[in-house]
Structure 1
Amino acid sequence: MSAKILITFYSTYGHTFQLAQSVREGAEQAGAEVRLRRVAELPQAAEAMKNDENYQAAQKSMAHLEEVTHDDLRWADGIAWGTPTRYGNMAAQVKQFIDTTSPLWSKGELEDKASGVFVSTATQHGGQEATILSFHIPLLHLGMILVGSPYGQNPTLFNVSEIHGGSPYGPSTIAGGDGSLQPKEGDLIMSKRLGERLTKVATQLKSLRK
């Protein structure tokens, strides 16, 4: 009985998108049926970034993806959420979408579904852990079961010889202040393993709901 995994994300310069693709790879290898969806851009953000060539290129690379809907959330047995950090919190685009889910919350439609979070930050101390932890709050209100990235499955967390993303709370990557850095191999491996673990947990939870 394979789980249905939704991977939904917002990405400004494409870093979170790269992590999302690795999460998808891990979920598919674990046997999941996967949907990859993007969170809609805000008109104000698109206007503010219209002259940023890197932003425009990244948005073009993701334009083929469908925007996430409530029906995608209902469909899924497990959901992985991706976002850039914004002062230790999720991006406004993601928060606005989550704030529309009250119809699902009031009916308990997301309760007992597995859920994990992955993020990107500008700097090593840009709020990657705080963003995931603060993201957990609405997920708990929605009744979801949180899935992190434990040390035993992610030995890259013990690597202190270089700057890299990741924490026990979930995968992350460091993009640099100008977005010039790219996800390191360890960041992508952690993301892939989140997809694998999310699928396993979602499959077990699905069996209990039968």
Structure 2
Amino acid sequence: MSPVLILYYSRSGSTKRLADAIAQGVNALDVPVMLRTVKSLNADEDESAQSSAVPIVTLQELEQCSALALGSPTRFGNMAAPMKHFLDSSSSLWLKGALIDKPACVFTSSSSMHGGQESTLLSMMLPLMHHGMVMCGLPYSEPELHNTTTGGSPYGVTHVAHYDLANQTQLSADEKALCIAQGKRLAKFAKALNQTTISEK
């Protein structure tokens, strides 16, 4: 089975921490995982160690994945420009329908509770839906969605850093539990769709 691609952009490390926790959930179902990031648009930008240690994604890796988890920090209620730039470069995959029927989820981090998390998640879904991907959110059967006072959303997992530069990369217990649940759900759909594809051949 092709790996689940967890693709993210992270400056401070918060979004990477979400990605790592989602990967734990995917691995829990014995599904392979591939962690990738996107290239910065600013040549002078001091890349965080969290992102620079992860390989830059290629369009071929996106095409070959069995599922996609897409993550970005919130930028004025939208995804960060480097992630949008990468998605804008994926027209060749759209033209041949390479991502149609593959499951996908989205995740984000912001420095405040009302920093545009839900609008960022919804905006990240739009290009994936244009690609024909199947969106995989989180159901309210996950108890942390009812209890969380930090991040968490039915649209996808989130993290709230609260401007705490010393601890902003630390996920709350609810945030981490939701990440793992999201990873498991994405992997479950990836396995099911993979088995259906095999049986149809």
TM-score (norm 1): 0.88
2:50 is the counterpart of 1:61: yes
* AA of the residue aligned to 1:93: P
Please, which of 97, 100, 120 is the counterpart of residue 109 of structure 2?
A: 120
Please, which of 127, 140, 161 is the counterpart of residue 129 of structure 2?
A: 140
Please, which of 154, 159, 178 is the counterpart of residue 173 of structure 1?
A: 159
- Whether the 8 Å contact between 2:2 and 2:64 is mirrored in structure 1 is no
Cα offsets for 1:22-62 (capped at 9, x unmatched): 1111101111111001111122571xxx4xxxxx6xx1233
Identity %: 38
- CA distance, structure 1, for counterparts of residue 57 and residue 69 of structure 2: 12
Q: List gaps (5 residues or longer) in structure 2.
A: none
- SS at 1:151 equivalent: coil
* AA of the residue aligned to 2:34: R
Please, which of 80, 84, 88 is the counterpart of residue 91 of structure 1?
A: 80
**What is the Cα deviation at residue 177 of structure 1?**
3.1
Cα offsets for 1:55-99 (capped at 9, x unmatched): x6xx12332211111111112110001110111111111000000
Which residue pairs with 2:194 in the alignment? Answer: 206
Please, which of 79, 98, 106 is the counterpart of residue 109 of structure 1?
A: 98
- SS at 2:27 equivalent: helix
- CA distance, structure 2, for counterparts of residue 16 and residue 190 of structure 1: 14
Q: Compare 180-189 and 141-150 and name the one that shifted more.
A: 180-189
- Whether the 8 Å contact between 2:157 and 2:182 is mirrored in structure 1 is yes
Which residue pairs with 1:189 in the alignment? Answer: 177
2:29 is the counterpart of 1:30: yes
Correspondences of 1:7-18 after superposition (within 5 Å): 7-18=6-17
Q: Compare 126-135 and 172-181 and name the one that shifted more.
A: 172-181
- CA distance, structure 1, for counterparts of residue 39 and residue 145 of structure 2: 32
- CA distance, structure 2, for counterparts of residue 77 and residue 121 of structure 1: 28
Which residue pairs with 1:53 in the alignment? Answer: none
Q: Compare 177-186 and 116-125 and name the one that shifted more.
A: 177-186
- Whether the 8 Å contact between 2:21 and 2:179 is mirrored in structure 1 is yes
* AA of the residue aligned to 2:25: G
TM-score (norm 2): 0.92
Q: Aligned pair count?
A: 196
* AA of the residue aligned to 2:22: V
- Whether the 8 Å contact between 1:9 and 1:82 is mirrored in structure 2 is yes
- CA distance, structure 2, for counterparts of residue 199 and residue 167 of structure 1: 19
